Amino acid sequence: MIQSLQAAQTTMDSTKLPTAQIDIIRYLYRFRFLTSHQLSNLLNHKTIRLTNYHLQNLSSQNYIGKHYSRSLSLANQPATYFLSSGSIKLLQSLEKIDKRALRRIYREKVRSQAFIDRSLFMANYFLFLRDESKKTNHTLHFFTKTDLLAHPYVIHPLPDAYFARVGKDDETKRYFVELVDDNSPRFALRRRIEQYDEYIEDGKFKEVTNHPFPKILFICSGYASLIYLKKHLERIYNETSLDETEIYLATQEEAFEGKWEQVTAEDE
């Protein structure tokens, strides 16, 4: 009997994952899709080999899957990793995991390339903000769309991210992040602006958090959507509740360069 218990204990211990592998699963839960280089940066690994070792172990146990093409046209595209069904039971045992997010894991393998690209961009933007915050001695609090599931007072549909940066003087600046595809239907962009107008007017964010309404950052994949948003926002800015906050626009490249254009009311 004692031998059986010892054997069972050994089996249980052998199934425990190293902290780094648990962290990989958590990051994939939060960001949905990540490359090995992004994961290496997130984990602060000194070499990509260490990250790849953990990824191979997780993949062999069906905790994660990956998209990878050997096509010549995609030869320079890195593999992207995502959660597999084998991770669900483990995630259920972890803290701060929203059970509603686990159902989508069954469909991660068939997500569109556009969806994957948005996820990868958001991870890169987080890494950029993390590095910038270290340089400027700010404390960064970053919430992905998955993280925001736990905050029902946040606008729905959820933004792509929310973050706050706290300076040494304890001054805090808060931001909602919206990623905009150049091929997004114009009516969908207008509707999203209406939703923010209604959300600001409702006052729910201020009521629940006791904080000023966050600034809104629209990050556009190209100039077509940026120009359209800029003109539309300028035209309605003073006629809506949007003038109670600050709105900034940039392309993806400009966002990394810190080149933001603030929306102001259209000249009379």
- From CA 195, how far away is CA 140, in angstroms rounded? 27
Parallel, antiparallel, or unpaired for β 64-67 and 34-35? Answer: unpaired
Mean pLDDT of 128-143: 97
Specify the pLDDT at position 15: 52
216, 205 Cβ separation under 8 angstroms:
no
Distance of CA 164 to the CA centre of its chain: 14
| φ, ψ dihedrals at 230, nearest 5° | -60, -50
Report how far Cα 88 is from the mean position of its chain's Cα atoms. 20
**Cα distance between residue 260 and residue 216, in whole Å:** 11
pLDDT, the chain, mean: 91
- List helix spans (H) across 65-112: 88-92
Pairing assessment for the beta strands 139-144 and 34-35 based on DSSP bridges: unpaired
Q: What pLDDT, on a 0 to 100 scale, did the predictor assign at position 1?
A: 39
Residue 93, CA distances (Å) to 20, 71, 106 in order: 17, 39, 18
Do the Cβ atoms of 190 and 232 come closer than 8 Å? yes
* Residues paired with residue 173 on neighbouring β-strands, in sequence order: 165
Whole-prediction pTM value? 0.90
The pLDDT value recorded for residue 12 is: 33
6 has a pLDDT exceeding 70: no
What is d(CA 261, CA 266) in angstroms, rounded to the nearest whole number?
14
pLDDT tens for residues 180-228?
Answer: 999 999 999 999 999 999 999 999 999 999 999 999 999 999 999 999 9
Tens-digit pLDDT profile for residues 26-56: 999 999 999 999 999 999 999 999 999 999 9
Q: What is the pLDDT of residue 14?
A: 34
Structure-token pair, residue 217 = 């950052």
Q: What is the C-alpha separation between 105 and 101, in angstroms, rounded?
A: 8
Q: Structurally, what CATH architecture does the domain formed by 2-111 represent?
A: Orthogonal Bundle (1.10)
Residue 176 contacts residue 217 (beta carbons within 8 Å): yes
Distance CA 127, CA 132 (A): 9
Q: What's the burial of 51, exposed, middle or buried (CB within 10 Å: 0-12/13-18/19+)? A: buried
Distance CA(66)–CA(108), nearest Å, equals: 10
**Tens-place pLDDT, residues 143-163:** 999 999 999 999 999 999 999
